Structure formats: C-alpha cells, structure tokens
Amino acid sequence: MEKIIAGVDELNDYEYGCVEQTASKLNAMLSKNYILIAMKQTALPNKRINALLGQLADMQNTDGSFGWWKRNGNNDRMTIYAMEVAHKALQAGYMNSIFNSANTYVLTHFKNMSISDKIYAYHVLLNAKTNSQETDRLYANIPVDRLSGTDKIYLYQNKRILGQSVVESDVYAVFLELNKNLSQPYTDNFFYDRRADVYKAYRLFKGSAYESSFIKLFKAKLMNGQLEKNMNTYAKVAMIEALTMAALSDGSKPIPSSLTINDTLVIQQYPTRIPISGSRYKIKHQGGDVFVNTSEEQRSETPDISDSVFSIRTYFLQGTNNNTSGKDALKMGEACAFKIDLQAYKKRNT
C-alpha cells in the first residue's frame, strides 16, 4: 500500500495541468483516500480534492464537454474520462456538477461518436446507471469485428454488466493480445497506452469469472513493478487503481523483505531511492518480493518542444564476471551484480 501512496504523491507533484493530468491527479487522490481509510489513517483534507474538482470544473466547456486544455475545443474521449473521474468523486461523497454536465453532453452526442468512444462512453454510462434507451439501441448496433485491445476490454466488461454471455476463448484471446502489445513501441495516444490497458484489464475483470485467467498471465508483472517504467500520468493512475483494488481485496499479510547493497547498505523500507554512482553493485535479497528498478524518470521542462522515450531492462548476472548470462529473477539470499540495457530516442518537434 505504501507503494500506491508513493505513486499518488509523485503524480500530485507533477507540474503540468492539462485536463487529463488534472483528472488523473484527482483520480489518484481518490484512490489514495481509499487506501488511507483502509489503513485506518487520516484521510486527505477535503479541500485538496475539492480544489482539484474546482480546477477541473473551470476547464469544462459550457456544453459540458472538455478539450485538452481549458476552453480549447472539445474532445469526446477526454470528456468521457473527466466524466468517469467526476462520477468516482460523487461516489466518494464529493459533490460536483462536472458529472451531470458531461453526462448530458455524452448522451446528446453519443450518436456521432467514434465506435471506440461509444464503447468507452457506454461503459461509463452503465456504471453510472445513466444510459438511455437511445444509447442502448445505438450501442447494440456497433460493429465489433475490428476493435483495438482497449476497446475489447470495455466491450467484454459491458457484456458482463449487461449479463450477456461471453465466449471464454474470446476473452483469453484479448489477454494474449495485451501481452503481445506490451512489446510494441511507445504510443503518444495515452488513452490507448498498452501498459494502461493491462492495468485497466486487471481492474475491469477483477472479481469476474475471467480473473484467474488474467491473473495467470499478468499478476506477476502487475505486482512486481515491471510495467512501471516511463509511464505517462494516465497509465500511472490505471496502475494505482489496479493496485488499490488488489491491496484492498488481499487479506494476506505482507512478508518483510530486505536488500543489502555491497554488504553495507541495508534497505527494509519501500519505496526507496539510492544514487547509482558505481559500475558494479552486489545485492543480497531476503524475505518477500522486491523489484529493483535501476532507472529514474526525467521530465522535460518544455514537453511541447521535445520528448524522450527510454527502454530500460535490468537483469542480474550469474557468477562474478560480465561474460556470464543474464537473468531477470533475483533469488532469495543470492549475491549478484546487475546490468542495465538502455535505449533512448529523442524527437524534436518543430
């Protein structure tokens, strides 16, 4: 749970304030409140969440829609996302007018939305119980033969909510597709982010008949941090929601763990950071699972001018020399060294 809280705090310090980032901050803080209450700690002050609700409301257009920035046109996907977060706030007891205004916009413009946006919008409408006979009719006629992995996640969840039958092999095919897509290059359309898809799938199928199949494929990656590297705010919030659900539903007690670095530095509290100043490190691991991430995100102060994408893989060395083969797992009590493969691509927009 401490890992989730640390992730929320990092998002809260993020310096940019577009609609997505504002909604994502709010979404993450609502999840943090669930965790704090579950841990019997003091919840966040209402003024912090209400302040973000106020910022988000100030960005909403008069017709209930949202653009990427304040009063900057409208974007159906952004409107649906802001509507979903506003509904989550209402469920947590934070009154706002954002949801009703966005809901009216979505119902009015549902007919002209793209297929992808219709599927996502209908998912939010179903959860809020504000779908209409018209949206039901339009949704029933959507062709579903060429959908993205993101769309399929919401499609099958909608079927589950509606009590419709779903072929097990079709859902399993989606899981395999998600796993395959994780190896694809970074996409700048964060609503279709491949790592966010994995976390959304975990959140959407939790508690369903398909959970065991999904967990078999992805639980290790979700819980040990392998999907955390270089995530945008949208994917980070999807991760926080998934981990929140997992933490609140898992009644097992955590196993204490420790890392000993170079026989001197002992780490027992997580998350933690240490500077990487040498070329070789010896790590000894004892206790519960620990993920060692030898990277740190760097944010550009001018993201509209340039952007960097990093691909980082950490692996541990067997033996005592650099010529031995690498492995991804770190065995309990084993002394080892680690290496890093780093790829960077920088694109400058003119």
Domain 2-249 belongs in CATH node 1.10.357.10: no
DSSP string, 102-135: HHHHHHHHGGGS-HHHHHHHHHHHHHHT---HHH
Structure confidence at residue 61 (pLDDT): 96
Taking residue 281's Cβ as centre, other Cβ atoms within 10 Å add up to 17
At 306 the pLDDT is: 41
Alpha helix segments (H runs only) across the chain? 2-12, 19-38, 46-59, 76-91, 98-109, 115-128, 133-140, 149-162, 168-181, 194-205, 211-224, 233-249
Place of tokens 């359309």: 189
CB-based contacts of 34: which residues, under 8 Å, 6+ apart?
A: 92, 244, 248
* Other CB atoms within 10 A of residue 284 CB: 17
- Domain map (residue ranges) of the chain: 2-249, 257-348
Q: How far is CA 149 from the centre of its chain?
A: 15
What residue ranges of the chain have pLDDT lower than 70?
Answer: 1-16, 38-42, 185-188, 216-230, 246-256, 270-271, 276-280, 288-350
pLDDT at 241: 75
pLDDT recorded at residue 321: 47
Structure tokens at 49: 């969440």
The per-residue DSSP string of 57-101 comes to: HHHS-TTS---SSTTS---HHHHHHHHHHHHHHHHTT---SHHHH
Q: How far apart are CA 271 and CA 192, in angstroms?
A: 28
DSSP state of 347: E
In degrees and rounded to multiples of 5, residue 26 shows phi and psi of: -60, -45
**What sign for the dihedral angle of Cα 287, 289, 294, 298?**
negative
User: Long-range contacts: 291-294, Cβ < 8 Å, 24+?
Assistant: 291/224, 291/225, 291/226, 292/259, 292/330, 292/338, 293/225, 293/228, 293/229, 294/338, 294/340
H helix or E strand, kind and range, residue 287: strand 283-287
